[in-house]
Structure 1
């Protein structure tokens, strides 16, 4: 059994304040015996006003939340799956980038969100992530973490089965799905999609989420989850409060489920 921690937070428009929340959470998670902390999408800045946000979105090497998280991870001796940060690319566009930080504070992996949230909801909410963000083009998995082979995704990626099929083909033990889900889409689809992805990949899913009313006026769904390979919900942090939750990752459970329903082994290519 390996203990993991999940941060549910209400990130705001001040990267320094968000960085302080991350640093405290890393220390608290380590103090409670967790080997890895998972944080939500946009842990360093959540601001729908792109003109205002532009002043705070900087190159990776200048990111205060990333630097504070790396320092805190090294100090506490814990791995951190930093759900994502907005970072400025050399061409001036932005990336929605996940970082995996090891227990020495090194960046072990990066993943840029592949699928852009370009939608018009019935509530009147309209989102055009692709207007500012460049889509990533590479599936990223990392072996040798405290919880085994880890696959990285971000939020809207959840809706695209082909990505998760590839993570299943790579036999990931755990898949990280950090998010800042809207309330309408969360109520409709969050739990069922997260459970489906765990079942399809016969893997644990850890989904750290933003929650509540944010300084930029948006409201996010919360319900950070840990789900086992059978689709059972081990942790649901609800849709109201921030804080840290804990769950156990049992590698034996992965082998047990894959032996009972060997869907990964039985998978066949589909003729095109």
Structure 2
């Protein structure tokens, strides 16, 4: 298998799923024009609500979501697989939603799903106060990596980035690419985003693809941006920008890079990471 070009997309989702679908359709066209063989979109691409109550009112099952259906049609029309973060309802609790990521294959079929395990509860002095656990149901399982034409992909979402155990588990299960679709806040993004992404790539010797929300979504939420693709040596191969002006909705953008599994195998063979499980339990 030779190198494969993939695209990472960046947008400013709002509470309008119709608007967000149009933004994603624009990113799909850009990815096709760039020769990408897959497109990776951010966490919560379908919508970002002002409140938990608004989110619960907006959420729809996948089979009834015009946002998901629109992406399925586009994936099939362009023969472009799409990895995208969405919301799903919690049947047993109408006040909560699921924060998930799905893989839509080139036929438009949903072939993989992962529900966010680690939820973002934070109160940063002078910064954001967010309690995701109040309105999002936590996931309970690390999903095995799934096969694509360019390698085995392991899914995580945003705050999962801070917990290396999940990426190490995915690597042990055969992952060659690990994804972090995100909506990082500006203060935490400035402090930790690139450092954590590079660390996850280096310690797993995997490609890391991190599609990020960017800009002001509403009066309460601003996202950091800086979507990235990083190679197994920790080198940033592609990166988009961040906020342009506070209050401005940024133009949807993509950037691309090549996934080269031969290079990955070179890194792994030249610096094998063999954990001493006789000394400490494997995480």
- TM (normalized to structure 2)? 0.91
Partner of 1:89: 90
2:192 matches 1:184: no
The alpha-carbon deviation at position 237 of structure 1 amounts to 0.5
CA-to-partner distance for each residue in 1:168-191, whole Å, 9 max, x for gaps? Answer: 212311111010000000000001
Moved more, 139-148 or 30-39: 139-148
Moved more, 171-180 or 50-59: 50-59
Partner of 2:259: 249
Unaligned runs of 5+ in 1: none
Q: 1:118-137 alignment to 2 at 5 Å?
A: 118-137=121-140
The alpha-carbon deviation at position 271 of structure 1 amounts to 4.1
2:153 matches 1:150: yes
Partner of 1:23: 25
The alpha-carbon deviation at position 268 of structure 1 amounts to 2.6
2:50 matches 1:48: yes
Residues 182, 221 of structure 1: 8 Å contact kept: yes
2:105 matches 1:99: no
Unaligned runs of 5+ in 2: 244-249
Partner of 2:71: 69
The alpha-carbon deviation at position 199 of structure 1 amounts to 0.6
Show structure 1 runs of 4+ deviating over 6 A: none
1:260 is aligned, of 258, 267, 270, to 270
2:120 is aligned, of 98, 117, 120, to 117
Aligned-partner SS, 2:57: coil
The alpha-carbon deviation at position 22 of structure 1 amounts to 1.4
The alpha-carbon deviation at position 24 of structure 1 amounts to 2.5
The alpha-carbon deviation at position 32 of structure 1 amounts to 2.1
**Count of matched residue pairs:** 269
2:13 is aligned, of 11, 32, 38, to 11
Instruction: State the Cα RMSD in Å.
Output: 1.4
- Name the CA distance, whole Å, in 1 between partners of 2:200 and 2:37: 23
The alpha-carbon deviation at position 216 of structure 1 amounts to 4.3
Residues 15, 50 of structure 2: 8 Å contact kept: no
1:257 and 1:214, CA in 2 relative to 1: closer, same or farther beyond 3 A?
same
CA-to-partner distance for each residue in 1:53-98, whole Å, 9 max, x for gaps? Answer: 332112222112111111100010011111x111112112310010
